[in-house]
């Protein structure tokens, strides 16, 4: 069972979120920091029956799912250029301070992140932070988007925060019938929220342009999965291979399609297998550095 998390950094930035198993680390377990994607809050990782936090806690893996800047009670953030890189800068600093306070008894940090959060986490890893990053587990982020995607986001109202209509959001976040159970997509709706329009434009524009360069600076092991029926990215084996090749400096890269899933693998039939694989990866890369 998760508990509310609130953290204030030394420069006064506030982060909300939720945590589980803090101070209860199994031998060799890392501290997992989870970063959600656009249009979701940290509750994305804590939907009953689909909770990464519950599964991590059951294995004695301390975990903190943070609300990224501009979400829930986390401090706002603006950027003249890339909102994704700006997220990475402030979150890396915050994670360093979180490590100092909550890292005792753990074997370093593993980042688990989805979609826009995956781009942010990759950018964090690319800076090779001073705190002990052991691995990067990401999903829902690939090489290029369908041509119509950026045009669709650009056509949204000229306001800072966008609320996607639920039927439209469900259509793009989920695969076809049979890839999710009867309780979905409705069970995921408590984690829905507004999204900064700047994030939607950045992930479909600037991030794609800089992806290969950023990925090329990541040196830690990488675990990556992409839903077979992801509507937000051009998704096939060639795209997976190109994405994998971008991590040319990583210690290892495990990148593959996740059969029977849409964009949000965490909410589809493979969810438990997928999340356990992420946690297996976290334990393995932590153990490799002990």
pLDDT at 148: 76
What is the reported pLDDT for 289?
A: 66
Task: Delimit the domains of the chain by residue range.
Answer: 3-289
- Local structure of 117: helix, strand or coil: helix
Looking from the CA of 152 toward its CB, the CA atoms found within 13 Å total 13
Give me the mean pLDDT over the 18-39 stretch.
97
Return left, alpha or beta for 123; rule: phi > 0 is left, psi -120 to 50 is alpha, else beta.
alpha
Q: Identify the band that residue 154 occupies on the pLDDT scale cut at 50, 70 and 90.
A: confident
Pairing relationship of beta strands 14-20 and 63-66 according to DSSP bridges: antiparallel
As a whole number, the mean pLDDT across the chain is 96
Torsion angle in degrees (nearest 10) through CA of 111, 117, 121, 127: -160
CATH code of domain 3-289: 3.40.50.1820
**Which pLDDT score is estimated for 70?**
98
Angle between helices 83-102 and 116-126 (to 10 degrees): 70
| pLDDT value for 58 | 98
* In the predicted structure, residue 167 carries a pLDDT above the cut 90: yes
Query: Is the separation of the CB atoms in 290 and 72 below 8 Å?
Result: no
**pLDDT tens for residues 99-138?**
999 999 999 999 999 999 999 999 999 999 999 999 999 9
For residue 93, which phi and psi values (nearest 5 degrees)? -60, -45
Dihedral pair phi/psi, residue 16, rounded to 5°: -100, 175
Predicted confidence (pLDDT) per residue in 82-102, tens digit: 999 999 999 999 999 999 999
On the question of pLDDT at 290 being above 60, the answer is: no
97 to each of 12, 102, 132, how far by Cα in Å? Answer: 12, 9, 12
The string of DSSP letters for 118-159 reads HHHHHHHHHT--SS-EEEEEEES--S---HHHHHHHHTS-SS
Residue 76: is its pLDDT beyond 80? yes
User: Helix (H, G, I), strand (E, B), or coil: what is residue 1?
Assistant: coil
Confidence at residue 157, expressed as pLDDT on a 0 to 100 scale = 80
Please state which of the ranges 9-18, 154-163, 182-191 shows the lowest mean pLDDT: 154-163
Question: Burial level of 28, CB count in 10 A (0-12/13-18/19+)?
Answer: middle
Using a pLDDT cut of 90, give the percent of the chain over it. Answer: 94
**pLDDT tens, residue by residue, 222-263:** 999 999 999 999 999 999 999 999 999 999 999 999 999 999
Residue 152 banded pLDDT, cuts 50, 70, 90: confident
Evaluate if residue 50 carries a pLDDT over 70.
yes
């Amino acid at each position: 069972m998760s508990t509310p998390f609130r953290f204030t950094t030394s420069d006064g930035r506030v982060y909300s979120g939720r945590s589980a198993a803090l101070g209860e680390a199994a031998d060799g377990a890392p501290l997992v920091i989870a970063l959600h994607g656009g249009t979701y809050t940290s509750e994305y990782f804590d939907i009953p029956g689909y909770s990464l936090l519950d599964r991590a806690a059951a294995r004695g893996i301390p975990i903190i799912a943070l609300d990224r800047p501009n979400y829930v009670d986390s401090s706002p953030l603006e950027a003249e250029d890339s909102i994704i890189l700006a997220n990475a800068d402030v979150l890396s600093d915050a994670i360093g301070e979180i490590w100092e306070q909550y890292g005792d008894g753990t074997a370093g940090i593993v980042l688990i992140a989805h979609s826009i959060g995956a781009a942010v986490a990759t950018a964090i890893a690319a800076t090779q932070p001073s705190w002990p990053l052991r691995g990067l587990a990401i999903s829902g982020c690939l090489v290029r988007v369908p041509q119509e995607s950026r045009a669709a986001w650009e056509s949204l109202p000229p306001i800072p925060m966008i609320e996607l209509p639920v039927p439209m959001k469900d259509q793009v976040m989920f695969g076809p019938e049979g890839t999710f159970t009867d309780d979905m997509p409705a069970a995921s709706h408590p984690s829905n929220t507004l999204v900064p329009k700047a994030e939607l434009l950045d992930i479909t524009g600037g991030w794609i342009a800089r992806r290969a360069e950023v990925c090329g600076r990541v040196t830690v092991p990488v675990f990556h999965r992409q839903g077979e029926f992801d509507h937000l990215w051009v998704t096939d084996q060639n795209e997976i291979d190109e994405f994998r090749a971008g991590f040319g400096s990583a210690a290892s890269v495990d990148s593959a399609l996740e059969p029977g899933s849409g964009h949000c693998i965490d909410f589809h039939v493979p969810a438990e297998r997928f999340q356990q694989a992420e946690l297996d990866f976290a334990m393995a890369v932590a153990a490799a550095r002990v």
